[in-house]
Structure 1
């Protein structure tokens, strides 16, 4: 049961976006920019970073919704997402993405946990300064989104399958698409 009277049956951040549309716009634009804007990282890779950070923060809604989006965008998506959640070091992703995920998980703990060693390791595997920047910013933003969603105790299904269609819709339409009732999708 949410801590406040959201009045929307929409789960997670979607209900909060309906509750406060004036904050939904900038938050949706940030997600759209980070996860779908121009980048040398694919949409699937960026969604996987968001899902992995959210999983580390134990945010059910964000980890599953972005996990579903990553699964929709990546080859062998669900297997990749679930393997990454079990352990980044064994994830069936490129060595560069593994290094970026390590940076993201460090940033999730505290910004000071992102060490020169982590950054140098990612650079040695081909990560650019922009990719490292974007990884840290995705991690930081998703810590905020996770705390927003969980801090207000929003409703969220614990089953990844419940998010599959929403994940496909995110990949197809993004975060600024207006849905029923004029709310931003998330």
Structure 2
């Protein structure tokens, strides 16, 4: 049961957006830019970074949501996402993505944990400065999103079908927000 009385029974961050719609727009604009905007990283790779950080933060709602979206966007099933969650080093992903996930994992602990070696490894694997920047910002944003969702003890459905249904939406975070607020 959430720590505050929400005006919606929507799960996770969606219920919080309904509660404070004035905060929903800027947070969704940030998600839209980071996860759906122009990038040399695919949307699936960026969603995977968000899912990975959410797993490290033990945020069930955000992990389940973004793991499902990453799987769809990568044209994979959840097996790949779970492999990344369990052991990035052995997951069947590019060395560049492994290096960016290592940076994201360091950010999850503390921004000060990102070392010159992290950055060098990422660059040697082909990561650009923008990709490194975006991996750091995605990780930092997901730490905030995870703490927002869990800090208010929002509801996270147990049914994987709930997350799978959301993952089928490919029109981005602003479109989903507009539909959500219009429905209420």
Query: What range is the shorter-chain TM-score in?
Result: over 0.9
Deviation at 1:36, TM superposition (A): 0.4
The answer to whether structure 1 residue 18 and structure 2 residue 34 are counterparts is no
Q: In 2, Cα distance between the equivalents of 1:115 and 1:108?
A: 13
Deviation at 1:58, TM superposition (A): 0.3
Q: In 2, Cα distance between the equivalents of 1:105 and 1:181?
A: 33
Gaps of 5+ in 1: none
Residue 160 of structure 2: aligned partner: 160
Q: In 2, Cα distance between the equivalents of 1:49 and 1:124?
A: 19
CA RMSD in angstroms comes to 1.4
Residue 144 of structure 1: aligned partner: 144
Q: Give me the TM-score of the superposition, normalised by structure 2.
A: 0.95
Gaps of 5+ in 2: none
Runs of 4+ in 1 over 6 A off after TM superposition: none
Residue 69 of structure 2: aligned partner: 69
Q: In 1, Cα distance between the equivalents of 2:74 and 2:33?
A: 19
Deviation at 1:64, TM superposition (A): 0.5
Q: In 1, Cα distance between the equivalents of 2:95 and 2:26?
A: 33
What is the correspondence of 1:1-186 to structure 2 with a 5 Å cutoff? 1-169=1-169, 172-177=170-175, 178-182=178-182
Q: 3-state SS of the aligned residue for 2:78?
A: helix
Query: Quick one: structure 1 residues 180 and 34, their matched pair in 2 at CA, closer, same or farther if it must change by over 3 Å?
Result: closer
How many residue pairs match? The answer is 182
Deviation at 1:159, TM superposition (A): 4.3
